[in-house]
Structure 1
Amino acid sequence: MPAYVKYVDVTKCDGCRACMVACKNWNDLPAEETEFMGSAQSHPKVTADTWNVLEYIEHENSKGGLDYLFRHSSCFHCKDAACEKVCPENAISYTEFGSVVIDHEKCVGCGYCVQNCPFEVISLKEYKDKNGKEYRKAHKCTMCTDRLEEGMQPACVTTCHTGAMEFGGKEEMIQKAEKRVQEIKDRYPNAMVYNPPGVGGTHTVYVLAEKPSVYGLPENPKVPTSAVLWKDYAQPLGKMMIGATTMGVLGMFVSSRLFNKGKQDEDQHDEEGGGSNE
């Protein structure tokens, strides 16, 4: 199955926040109390209970004028995801649609995914079991994978009334983004497609009116070297070593059993032979 992309054109967004409401409703996420931020923005960033946030940015453009920029902020669903690499429990995986999802049955709340996400879109949520013991689970946008499996589109996409978000095949959406950048270059000279190669590209691709840093995004995000070493080298080597060690121990056990059995048979034979000589 071909990979899919959520296409976000920030130049068409009017800041209505319908995407936030749709996400909350579909995923049954609770409301959060937040402090007044002095602007229309309701949350400072995504959290374990708010998987996408509409960001409002005041920016002085190249002509000295003031622009209000908006950005739908949620998980980027990296093709080469740092969160997936650092998870020690293999609780994070890729789906056939390109989305990156968390298996909460396997998640132990270690927080490695939170620490290593270059976009800071994963958070830990506190829970209590029936005995009052506290534990944590990692949460983030799933790109509505449950909807995709039923042939539907992400909830945020379906509710966007300006056409700022679309969902479709990867190649089609990237071509659409590149074409749109050329259309808006006169108004936004710094316009660009944000699909960072340092994380293998993403399954949420943006048309940005300004440089990524203006939106609080890293210019060139990369998977941490430590994550690459851990997932691609240390873990496979460790499994090989564990496998070799296990086989060695098993071999010693079998050899010991055979040796001891042979010795026992020999002793028994000697005893029987000795008895006949008497």
Structure 2
Amino acid sequence: MATKYVKYVDVTKCDGCRACMVACKNWNDLPAEPQDFLGSMQSHANVTADTWNVLTFVEHENSKGNLDYLFRHSSCFHCTDAACEKVCPENAISYTDKGMVVVDQEVCVGCGYCEQNCPFDVIHLKTYKDENGKEYRKAHKCTMCTDRLDEGLQPACVTTCHTGAMEFGEKDEIISKAEKRVKEIKERYPNAQVYNPQGVGGTHTIYVLAEKPSVYGLPENPKVPTSAVLWKDYAQPIGKAMVGGVAMALAGAFVANKFFDKKNGGQEEDGGGNHE
């Protein structure tokens, strides 16, 4: 079995510099997106088809009555059981051998099912125009820099983090590191926890959070939508089996029909010959 890898984000070490955002834009050649002023340190409200990671900022009154400034590097979670992969009717979304969730732009038809079913709202459609001016759409999101991983490099966002808030490594080692870190910061952050939601089979971007997930705008218990499970795990296999069965039945009928036509035709010829 191939070794699985995860990106580790310790929000308690993040200083909000946004170097991860810049590195992602540069490496993936993503265009700038002018934004309205949001009234805080946060430059974008959420990730988009052209901005694959965003530094979120929250002012939060903690359990001791003090004000905390909470930062979080936000990007695709690369779920082990990914809703986007389940609902894609064209099989344009798949897993790499390291566990990352990627979109094949050549196969994507821009239906939007992935965008509608992602529990983290991190995959979005971008509109293009062909040479005739006709519009079409493609799904985009963080790839975890799979092109860099294939060359033995780490994701661009990780390599540029100057505070050590992000790391990338083997899954079991990183999870152990995250659990140890939570124990270290519990006195200061009583609600500290590892965010690696099991409702989506665990993720390949895990967090050490200082507060409850909802404080950071994250779902407390994200799950793959039931509709996605029914579609991928039940409806699709049954549909394929039915299509296969119908195809076999049609093929059988075609062969049988040809056989009987030939047989009947031969009998008519013989009958006609006996009358001569």
TM-score range, shorter chain: over 0.9
User: What SS class does the counterpart of residue 70 from structure 1 fall into?
Assistant: strand
Residues in 1 aligned to 2:41 and 2:213: alpha-carbon distance in whole angstroms: 21
Residue matched to 1:258: 259
Q: Report the identity percentage.
A: 76
Are 1:154 and 2:145 counterparts?
Answer: no
Residue matched to 2:226: 225
Q: Mapping of 1:87-166 within 5 angstroms?
A: 87-166=88-167
Are 1:62 and 2:63 counterparts?
Answer: yes
Q: Give the residue type in structure 2 aligned to 1:60.
A: E
Residue matched to 1:40: 41
Q: Give the residue type in structure 2 aligned to 1:70.
A: F
Normalised to the residue count of structure 2, the TM-score between the two structures is 0.99
What are the Cα deviations for residues 19-45 of structure 1, in whole angstroms up to 9, with x where unaligned? 000000000000001000011111000
Q: CA deviation at 1:274?
A: 1.5
Q: Give the residue type in structure 1 aligned to 2:47.
A: V
Q: Give the residue type in structure 1 aligned to 2:94.
A: S
Q: Mapping of 1:155-234 within 5 angstroms?
A: 155-234=156-235
Residues in 1 aligned to 2:113 and 2:66: alpha-carbon distance in whole angstroms: 42
Q: Give the residue type in structure 1 aligned to 2:4.
A: A
Q: CA deviation at 1:216?
A: 0.1
Gaps of 5+ in 2: none
Q: CA deviation at 1:185?
A: 0.4
User: What SS class does the counterpart of residue 270 from structure 1 fall into?
Assistant: helix
Q: Give the residue type in structure 2 aligned to 1:47.
A: T
User: What SS class does the counterpart of residue 58 from structure 1 fall into?
Assistant: strand
Q: CA deviation at 1:106?
A: 1.0
Residues in 1 aligned to 2:267 and 2:131: alpha-carbon distance in whole angstroms: 60
Q: CA deviation at 1:120?
A: 0.3
Q: CA deviation at 1:273?
A: 1.9
Q: Give the residue type in structure 2 aligned to 1:192.
A: Q
User: What SS class does the counterpart of residue 104 from structure 1 fall into?
Assistant: coil
Q: Give the residue type in structure 1 aligned to 2:214.
A: S
Residues in 2 aligned to 1:40 and 1:211: alpha-carbon distance in whole angstroms: 21
Residues in 2 aligned to 1:36 and 1:272: alpha-carbon distance in whole angstroms: 94
Residue matched to 1:49: 50
* Root-mean-square deviation over aligned CA pairs: 0.5
Residues in 2 aligned to 1:160 and 1:92: alpha-carbon distance in whole angstroms: 29
Gaps of 5+ in 1: none
Residue matched to 1:237: 238
Are 1:15 and 2:16 counterparts?
Answer: yes
Residue matched to 2:249: 248
Q: Give the residue type in structure 1 aligned to 2:134.
A: K
Residues in 1 aligned to 2:99 and 2:73: alpha-carbon distance in whole angstroms: 19
Q: CA deviation at 1:62?
A: 1.1
What are the Cα deviations for residues 189-243 of structure 1, in whole angstroms up to 9, with x where unaligned? 0000000000000000000000000000000000011110100010000000000
Residues in 2 aligned to 1:11 and 1:98: alpha-carbon distance in whole angstroms: 26
User: What SS class does the counterpart of residue 110 from structure 2 fall into?
Assistant: coil
What are the Cα deviations for residues 168-188 of structure 1, in whole angstroms up to 9, with x where unaligned? 000000000000000000100
